[in-house]
Amino acid sequence: MTSLYAVTPLFLLGISNICAPKSSVKPRETTFGSTFPGTVWCGPGNTAKNDSHLGPLRDVDACCRAHDKCNDVIPRFSKKYGIFNPTMSPKYNCVCDRAFHKCLMNVPKWEGRAAEFIGSLYFETKIFPNCFTNDYPKRCVDKSKNIPWRCTKYVNASKKKKNWQWKDFGGWYIDFSAR
């Protein structure tokens, strides 16, 4: 029998702080938590001294920095393009999230575990749809068997005009096991 448990990102970040190798790099507190160990851009907010500052996990941190710099964002509890973000975190245009996913998938192998962890937190633990896009209306035709609110297959209603809408990632997993 399979059970589904809700694990919060803060719980996972706490586990990572316990399991991370001891080093001089310590996560610094931000408004809502701390950055991922070895980074200054990955987490709620950032602890960077300036835009060119990166932590020891340089490639992963560069991915997070590029994502943080996305200029098409719906802040928490805000409305843009006629859609409302009811969550505690900002929501990004799907173009930015796809670029973030691609960047994490292409980090060097020695940073792969950090990229996989950060990607899993970002792409797989969210309940609300993850990004927004201007596209033809879509209708869900197949829901996930394990996560009832996640759609795994959409069909386009292309006869209608494009509109701004939420999009579920539905399978943007970060998996380095095949590398």
User: Tens of pLDDT along 150-176?
Assistant: 777 878 876 788 899 988 776 565 555
Please check whether residue 4 lies inside any domain of the structure: no
Instruction: Write down the pLDDT at residue 122.
Output: 87
Please check whether residue 91 lies inside any domain of the structure: yes
Q: Which CATH number characterizes residue 13's domain?
A: 1.20.90.10
Residue 45: band (very low, low, confident or very high) from pLDDT cuts 50, 70, 90: confident
Domain that holds residue 35: 9-130
Please check whether residue 139 lies inside any domain of the structure: no
Please check whether residue 161 lies inside any domain of the structure: no
Neighbouring residues of 157: CB distance < 8 A, sequence distance ≥ 6: 136, 137, 138, 139
CB 129 within 8 A of CB 167: yes
Kindly list the catalytic residues.
Answer: 67, 97
Tens-place pLDDT, residues 75-92: 999 999 999 999 888 999
Please check whether residue 35 lies inside any domain of the structure: yes
CA distance 26 to 103: 24
Please check whether residue 145 lies inside any domain of the structure: no
Number of folded domains in the chain?
1
Q: At what angle do helices 58-68 and 94-105 cross, to 10 degrees?
A: 180
The single-letter DSSP state of residue 138 is E
* pTM tops 0.75: no
